[in-house]
Amino acid sequence: MLKQERADLVRKRLDELYPTTPIPLDHTDEYTLLVAVLLSAQCTDKRVNEVTPALFKLADNPFDMAKKKPLTVEKIIKPCGLSPRKSRAIVELSQILVDEHNGVVPQSFEALEALPGVGHKTASVVMSQAFGVPAFPVDTHIHRLAQRWGLTNGKNVVQTEKDLKQLFPKDSWNKLHLQIIFYGREFCTARGCDGLVCEICVSCYPRRRTAPVVHSP
């Protein structure tokens, strides 16, 4: 099976399984989404959703958040991990939004990636989920599945993102990256499937007998 054929198979099956793709992080606007995505680094969406109600009760906009002390924020977000770094980033980026963007989350990759704690993946999530701009955020889970399904041989998320964008129509990117995440959580987990178990892995490689080598990003 050719790589494009595998990509078409993956997209067709994911559309059947997940016709709708609700955003997994609870939020009310672009700013609260940005903060939630930042918190999700090395943390589960479930844990983030448990923490953000208290955080957004403290401050749910950059004007109020910029006035808070990082230590106050840190105490609330501690369950998310990396709390000292994340709390500083949240307060600092809030101040930048106030000073440079009139308190509005900018709608450009360049401006988002210039904010503290915001890398390309976080910016891609915000651009796709908040503003509807085509993007393909690739985290470690998507990177792993894309390799298992033979959609990339990239050794990092940058190459994986490039490969996936070439295989799938641009208008499918925003939905597809969520579909892959949903599928990975349900059927193709890091320990539950090694490339030989789940339906899509088997469909892409019906003759595969040994687990594929998966490069960590």
Q: How does residue 154 score in pLDDT terms, banded at 50, 70 and 90?
A: confident
User: Model-level pTM greater than 0.85?
Assistant: yes
Using CA atoms, how far apart are residues 47 and 24, in angstroms rounded to an integer?
A: 11
- Domain range enclosing 113: 30-129
* pLDDT of amino acid 200: 98
The answer to whether residue 121 is catalytic is yes
| Domain boundary residue, one of 99, 129, 159 | 129
| Whole-number percent of the chain with pLDDT over 90 | 93
What is the chain's Cα-based Rg?
18
Catalytic pick from 67, 78, 121, 165?
121
What is the per-residue pLDDT across 193-209, written as a single tens digit (0 to 9) for each? 999 999 999 999 999 99
Closest CA to 180 of 27, 7, 46, 34: 7
pLDDT band at 28 (very low <50, low <70, confident <90, very high): very high
Q: Which residues fall within 8 angstroms of residue 211, CB to CB, at 6 or more apart?
A: 194, 195, 196
- Taking only the tens place, the pLDDT of each residue in 86-120 is 999 999 999 999 999 999 999 999 999 999 999 99
pLDDT for res 217: 73
Structure token digits, residue 22? 């609700």
Verify that 147 and 68 share a domain, yes or no.
Answer: no
Q: Is 27 left (phi over 0), alpha (psi -120 to 50) or beta?
A: beta
Q: Is residue 213 part of a domain?
A: no
Identified catalytic residue from 68, 86, 139, 170: 139
64 and 87 inside one domain: yes
How far is it, in rounded angstroms, from Cα 6 to Cα 125?
Answer: 25
Same domain, yes or no: 48 and 16: no
